[in-house]
Amino acid sequence: MYGYMLQVRPETLKMEPELKSQIRQETDQLFIGEGSNCYSFSNLMTLLMVKFRKINPGIQNDNPIRASVIPKWVKMYHLRKAQYLAGHRYISSMESHPKNDMEGLKEVVDKFHPLG
């Protein structure tokens, strides 16, 4: 991420749009497309997933990343804020994400483990 902020993003801001229909826009968004065009965000995310797959071939899509981040958001913020951050339309969608209660598991292991 640090390399992106120092090298890739400034170079992307300098690029001219390839298509005439793309308009160069001043933006403070973190992730931008070619020619500082925010419309090609999906292309940027596709490239990002390709790089993730090179690092960890087991990742097929962004679901494992979302599944690990959303329970942390629920702990940090209230449920509605986490729903907004996750982009879920309905609150019932939040129930589909696994609840990783590592503190609770740690307490159980400490309580019942023979060496604990």
70 vs 41 pLDDT, higher one: 70
71 vs 45 pLDDT, higher one: 71
99 vs 95 pLDDT, higher one: 95
Q: How confident is the model at residue 111 (pLDDT cuts 50, 70, 90)?
A: confident
Identify the three-state secondary structure at position 30: coil
Contact present, 65 and 55 (Cβ < 8 Å): no
pLDDT digits (tens, 9 = 90+) for 2-55: 676 677 666 766 665 554 445 555 556 555 555 445 555 667 677 778 888 888
- State if pTM tops 0.85: no
Longest C-alpha distance within the chain, in Å? Answer: 69
